[in-house]
Amino acid sequence: MTKFIFKRLLEAIPTLLVLITVSFFLMRFAPGNPFSSERSLPPQVKANIEAKYGFDKPVVEQYFNYLKNLVQGDLGPSFKYKDYTVNELVAQALPVSAKIGAAAFILAVLIGVSLGTLAALKQNSWIDYLVMSGAMVGVVIPSFVLAPVLVLIFAIGLKWLPAGGWNGGAVQFMVLPVVGMMMHYISSIARIMRGSMIEVMSSNFIRTARAKGLASSYIVLHHALRPAILPVVSYLGPAFVGIITGSVVIETIFGLPGIGQLFVNGALNRDYSMVLGLTILVGALTITFNAIVDILYAVIDPKIRY
């Protein structure tokens, strides 16, 4: 097992390297450079600026410099916010996104698995139909439609919750963003869970457990849950990516000072080092998380032996 975990983590490195390389060279070969869009500068000033950011060196050398800094955890200076490094900006924004993302992710898994199991156990009852039609709606309605509607109802209409802002992460400021972010994933997870639970519940070992006279709650929790949850586990990777990506929209709508907001502003302002740095950061997170999911899968599924 240790060997498998080690090997899986090692495999993530080339993936990450490809991501960094492709992103970096795309940026360097894009038409124009970050300073060409500004007012035309005297050539000396321009040369100075380019020298400051290392643009005067050959591209390959720049690449290796970037890599060297990256290994030391340095994403370089921001082109837009001249007094800040990308690291400083990320350090401010990351906790916000992490808090909302983690809450949405954990709640989505818990609620989704419970609802899916419930629907499967009460198959073809009104509970099943209610959960499944709710899930259909949840899957189809995108977060950037859902979130404004939530704001309209709960913030503007009923005035129960604030319409946006962060306020240091107070609970009432987190409710709407988290709900807006997680609905899609609750629905998807519930659908997956229902399908696999129905399949597992009709298998032979469950019948045996029933024949032994075990209580059905015991059967569900101790026998059925583990095999039934496997498809959900393999969905966690895409769900994680989705939640990170979704943070871009949610943070824009609710005006939260997180990674997504930073990324969009960086893209709109053509702050290349910011966009590049965040792409690499998010990529690294994604790749790590996928590796963790694979390991988790191997832990849960006794049939997989490495």
Partner 1 sequence: MFVSKEKSQAIANAAESLEIEGRSLWQDARRRFFRNKAAVVSLVILTLISLLVIIGPHLSEYAFDDTDWSAMHVGPSIESGHYFGTDSLGRDLFVRTLMGGQISLMVGLLGAIVAMLIGTLYGATSGFIGGRVDQVMMRVLEILYSFPFMFFVILLVTFFGRNILLIFLAIGAVSWLDMARIVRGQTLSLKRKEFIEAAHVCGVSKWKIITRHIVPNVLGIVVVYATLLVPSMILFESFLSFLGLGVQEPMTSWGALLNEGSQSMEIALWQLLFPAGFMVTTLFCFNFIGDGLRDALDPKDR
Site of interaction with partner 1 (CB under 8 A):
12, 14-15, 18-19, 23, 26-27, 30-31, 136, 139-142, 144-145, 147-149, 151-152, 156, 237, 241, 244-245, 248-249, 252-253, 263-264, 266-268, 270, 272, 275-276, 278-279, 282-283, 286-287, 290
Spatial distance between the Cα atoms of 196 and 198, rounded to a whole number of angstroms: 5
Cβ proximity to partner 1: between 142 and 165 the closer is 142
Helix axes 230-254, 171-201, angle to 10 degrees: 160
Cβ proximity to partner 1: between 96 and 294 the closer is 294
The least CB distance from residue 279 to partner 1, in Å, is 5
- Contact partners, residue 89, CB within 8 Å, separation at least 6: 78, 81, 262, 274
Cβ proximity to partner 1: between 219 and 294 the closer is 294
The least CB distance from residue 215 to partner 1, in Å, is 34
Cβ proximity to partner 1: between 121 and 271 the closer is 271
The least CB distance from residue 212 to partner 1, in Å, is 31
The least CB distance from residue 137 to partner 1, in Å, is 9
The least CB distance from residue 220 to partner 1, in Å, is 27
The least CB distance from residue 142 to partner 1, in Å, is 5
Spatial distance between the Cα atoms of 247 and 260, rounded to a whole number of angstroms: 5
Cβ proximity to partner 1: between 62 and 245 the closer is 245
CA atoms within 13 A on the CB side of 5: 6
The least CB distance from residue 226 to partner 1, in Å, is 25
Cβ proximity to partner 1: between 166 and 272 the closer is 272
Cβ proximity to partner 1: between 90 and 147 the closer is 147
- How many beta carbons lie within 10 A of that of residue 251, not counting itself? 26
